[in-house]
Amino acid sequence: MKMVNLSIDGKEVEVSAGTTVLNAAEQAGIHIPRLCYEPDLSPWGACRLCVVEIQGLRNLPASCVTTVKPGMVVQTRSPAVIEARQTILELLLAGHPQDCLTCEKMGDCKLAQYCYEYGVKKSAVPETEPNYAVDDSNPFIVRDPNKCIACGKCVRACAEITGKNILELAGRGPGTRATTANDVPFVESECVFCGNCVSVCPTGALTEKQMQGKARRWEYQKVKTTCPFCGTGCNFDLCVKDDKVVGVASNPESIVNGRALCLKGRFGWDFVYSERRLTTPLIKRNGGFEPATWDEALDLIADRLSEIKAKHGPGAFASLSSARCTNEENYLMQKFTRAVMGTNSVDCCART
């Protein structure tokens, strides 16, 4: 593979040809701020916050769409670069609600983080704060167009990760925002509610409805786990507050799925606290179910299955297992079905 040598902030860096300046800086341990860039998505160069100064160029190019060249000399924090980033942040604030104290994304908002980092407290241009209705129709996602910064990450996530193309940028100038076709509510679109758009949104424009009002983002304890709904084995982080699961967050470091999740994986965790979950075995007596001990329940099951096999043969029995069980439990289920009951009639809910 052809290698390219360049200088970034005075540090000599060697990367493969075709690498972007942003990724080359990352490999050198230099962070360049970005709002529209995401490793899992195609580069776009829309937010311009990742601009850098390159010796020999008059303008400040976006580093996420600029490829390295031999001998390139890059400055990521020159006075001109810092001034440009401050101006970009001021322009974004001109059309962005500043209700940070009550915003659900506080503590995990990239716009707020960079404004703090670059000392931008307010916009120097006349404010043009939008006044769009908040879309609360989706049972899992709250969409606030007023906080959209038109970075396009949700649009690309829907198209490139989910493959649905539900979202697109609409409007012009300060009124540009990500929305559905014909600007219909989420619930009336063809959205499959996977939430991949939420996972990449850098502001409070898209948030998880289940997590609203539960805690600030920095208060969550992140516990990595594996999704139990199918055999794919997607990984994600459980957001835990006061020893209780309150939501799911994508983990970009997940080997199987990256940050991509489906509806069940991201929002289907609430069965954990369902009032309809069984907490003790039930045995049907006198036309109704009554609590029983595990020994009573297991003895009854063993007796009844033995009676059915003796009377009707192994073909009268079939087992249906669950993807929510562990691999070991599912292995024991199929082994019991084949070795004890004498039939190969085994199925699993994940097959469909």
Q: What percent of the chain has pLDDT over 90?
A: 81
Residue 327 is given by DSSP the state: H
Mean pLDDT score of the chain, rounded to an integer?
93
Asked if residue 112 lies in contact with residue 106, where contact means CB atoms within 8 angstroms, the answer is yes
The answer, yes or no, to whether residue 352 has pLDDT greater than 60, is no
pTM: 0.85
Q: Region 172-196: what's the mean pLDDT?
A: 91
Q: Outline where 78-150 has alpha helix (H).
A: 79-94, 110-117
Going from N- to C-terminal start, the domains of the chain cover 3-77, 125-273, 313-351
* Cα–Cα distance, 44 to 57 (Å, whole number): 20
Q: Is the pLDDT of residue 252 over 60?
A: yes
Q: What number of other Cβ atoms are within 10 A of residue 222's Cβ?
A: 11
Better-predicted residue by pLDDT, 324 or 131: 131
Query: Which residues, in sequence order, are bridge partners of residue 235?
Result: 226
Q: What pLDDT score was predicted for residue 117?
A: 96
Q: Out of 3.40.50.1820, 3.30.70.20, 2.60.40.1260, 3.40.1010.20, select the CATH number for domain 125-273.
A: 3.30.70.20
State pLDDT tens for residues 186-219: 899 999 999 999 999 999 999 999 999 999 999 9
Are the C-beta atoms of 13 and 24 separated by less than 8 Å? yes
Condensed to tens digits (0 to 9), the pLDDT of residues 47-57 reads 999 999 999 99
pLDDT digits (tens, 9 = 90+) for 51-110: 999 999 999 999 999 999 999 999 999 999 999 999 999 999 988 998 999 999 999 999
Q: Class assignment of domain 3-77?
A: alpha beta
Long-range pairs for 178-186 at CB < 8 Å and ≥24 separation? 178/145, 178/148, 178/150, 178/152, 178/154, 178/205, 179/145, 185/135, 185/137, 185/138, 186/135, 186/137, 186/138, 186/141, 186/143
